[in-house]
């Protein structure tokens, strides 16, 4: 056992530190198929999401699913620490390192010495009594100090990336409703005479998609972090932008096809690469998000808001949707994040229009805030 313990310990140390390096330090996607970190998250998520699916859709279910990412992140860090402690203990025990005051210490004593060394606690009640043992203890103390420094630096970077992602998602509420809808976004912009502003929005979301791609490829765990509201998610926001870009490419008067093409390319690049890093092959959705029976209603609703579509725009929209919908549907099934509708749901309220107390006065004030306000044109009338 002592002969096997040393190489096993070295293997465990190298494996854990390499996994931590790939997860925390390496700023690019890892193409290696077998990764313990990925296996850990996927296996735990499989059980966690299976329990979540038994819960009724709503606030309780979302609260339950939202705990997964931060909890498993802490569990992974603890698992790495235990692995390194166990590895160094096996090395010391396998080499038969004498420990003062008991020169013939068992494995549990080596585990205790390894744990106090790794966390740089240094109780001093047990210590190696040989030069090789002291050298190994010094290496472990340095490893533990570097590991703790990496963890301290890793958590703020992770949560800053999450915060930057969520700011733009929260802003989409007033643009496209809750849940967001590309058709609703165009309808609101047209109704308020701001169809030109859609080009600026697409430019902003082109940058957001690029940042989402970079951060989520470096830290795939971010994909499991859920938004603050039940009817919002990074996946629904990305799908809405893909829908909007596809509509712009299909032909909407006032929306730049060049900007739509750039945003569509960046957003689809993000969703395809994220599906690859999460090992989720594309699969066609079971139903059509925009059946042909709803095409006249889509066109009529946009024209009522003075948004003009080209004659074959709705038909061409289906060609673009086939390019990205299999990927977003596969991610939706994996992450338990529902996809947004293309057409807005009837009588849906934006998140800013609702209140946790459900006050009637609050609701009436919110409804009043959505109505167009006509300002008097004459200076004297403005002063009245």
Q: Is residue 297 part of a domain?
A: yes
Same structural domain for residues 83 and 190? no
Containing structural domain, residue 240: 177-345
Q: Say whether 87 sits in a helix, a strand or coil.
A: helix
Q: Examine the domain organization and report whether 75 and 209 are in the same domain.
A: no
How far is it, in rounded angstroms, from Cα 326 to Cα 259? 23
Query: How many domains does the chain divide into?
Result: 2
What lies within 8 Å, CB to CB, of 87 at 6+ separation is: 9, 10, 11, 12, 13, 16
Do both 330 and 242 map to the same domain?
yes
Q: Please give the pLDDT value at position 326.
A: 95
**Are 198 and 333 contained in the same domain?**
yes
Q: What is the pLDDT of residue 128?
A: 86
So what's the pLDDT on residue 243?
94
Instruction: List, as own/partner pairs, every contact residues 310-319 make where C-beta atoms lie below 8 angstroms and the sequence separation is at least 24, other chains included.
Output: 310/250, 310/251, 310/252, 310/253, 312/250, 312/251, 313/247, 313/250, 313/251, 313/252, 314/250, 316/249, 316/250, 316/251, 317/246, 317/247, 317/250, 317/290, 318/290
Domain shared by 271 and 223, yes or no: yes
Q: Answer yes or no: is 26 within a domain.
A: yes
Flag whether 168 is in a domain. Answer: no
Whether 74 and 121 share a structural domain: yes
What pLDDT score was predicted for residue 321? 93
Q: Indicate whether 184 and 133 sit together in one domain.
A: no
| pLDDT confidence of residue 357 | 66
Closest to 331 measured CA to CA, from 271, 243, 264, 263: 271
List, for the chain, all residue ranges whose pLDDT scores fall below the cut of 50.
360-361, 365-366, 368-384
Is-contact 317 247, C-beta < 8 A? yes
pLDDT at residue 375, as a whole number: 35
Whether residues 184 and 311 fall in one domain:
yes
Beta bridge partner(s), residue 252: 309
Which H helix or E strand runs over 128? strand 127-128
Q: Whole-prediction pTM value?
A: 0.84
Instruction: Using the Cα atoms of residue 178, residue 179, residue 180 and residue 186 in order, give the sign of their dihedral.
Output: negative
Indicate if 207 and 261 belong to the same structural domain.
yes
Structure tokens at 362: 């609050």
Looking at the domain assignment, is residue 225 inside a domain? yes
365 in a structural domain: no
Alpha-carbon span 30 to 39, nearest angstrom: 13
Question: C-alpha dihedral over 61, 63, 64, 69, to 10 degrees?
Answer: 130
Residue that terminates a domain, selected from 92, 120, 153:
153
- Name beta bridge partners: 99: 128
At 298 the pLDDT is: 86
pLDDT, position 378: 40
Note whether 137 and 128 are within 8 A (CB).
yes
Q: How far is CA 235 from CA 184, 227, 271, 345, in A?
A: 18, 10, 9, 18
Q: Is residue 324, in this structure, part of any structural domain at all?
A: yes
Residues 68 and 194 in one domain: no
């Amino acid at each position: 056992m002592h002969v096997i313990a040393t190489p096993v310990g070295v293997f465990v140390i190298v494996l854990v530190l390499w996994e931590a390096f790939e997860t925390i330090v390496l700023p690019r996607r890892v193409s290696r198929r077998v990764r313990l970190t990925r296996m850990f998250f996927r296996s735990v998520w499989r059980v966690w999401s299976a329990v979540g699916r038994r819960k009724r859709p709503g606030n309780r279910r979302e609260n339950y699913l939202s705990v997964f990412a931060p909890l498993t992140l802490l569990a992974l860090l603890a698992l790495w620490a235990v692995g390194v402690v166990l590895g160094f203990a096996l090395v010391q025990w396998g080499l038969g390192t004498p420990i003062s005051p008991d020169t013939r210490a068992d494995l549990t004593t080596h585990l205790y010495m390894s744990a106090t060394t790794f966390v740089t606690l240094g109780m001093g009640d047990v210590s190696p009594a040989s030069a090789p043992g002291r050298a190994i203890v010094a290496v472990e103390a340095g490893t533990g100090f570097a590991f703790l420094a990496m963890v301290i630096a890793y958590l703020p970077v992770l949560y800053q990336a999450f915060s930057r992602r969520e700011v733009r998602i929260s802003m989409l509420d007033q643009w496209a409703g809750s849940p967001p809808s590309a058709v609703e976004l165009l309808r609101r912009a047209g109704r308020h005479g701001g169809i030109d502003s859609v080009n600026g929005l697409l430019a902003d979301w082109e940058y957001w998609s690029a940042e989402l791609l970079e951060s989520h490829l470096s830290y795939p765990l971010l994909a499991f972090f859920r938004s603050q509201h039940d009817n919002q998610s990074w996946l629904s926001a990305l799908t809405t932008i893909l829908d909007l870009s596809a509509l712009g490419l299909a032909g909407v008067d006032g929306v730049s096809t060049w900007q739509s093409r750039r945003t569509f390319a960046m957003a689809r690049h993000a969703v395809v690469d994220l599906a690859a890093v999460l090992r989720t092959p594309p699969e066609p959705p079971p139903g059509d998000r925009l059946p042909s029976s709803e095409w006249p209603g889509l066109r009529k609703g946009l024209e009522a808001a003075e948004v003009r579509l080209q004659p074959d725009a709705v038909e061409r929209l289906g060609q673009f949707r086939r390019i990205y919908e299999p990927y977003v549907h596969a991610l939706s099934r994996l992450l338990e994040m529902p996809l947004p509708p293309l057409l807005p749901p009837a009588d849906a309220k934006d998140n800013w229009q609702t209140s946790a107390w459900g006050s009637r006065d609050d609701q009436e004030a919110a409804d009043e805030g959505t109505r167009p306000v006509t300002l008097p044109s004459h200076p004297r009338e403005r002063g009245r």
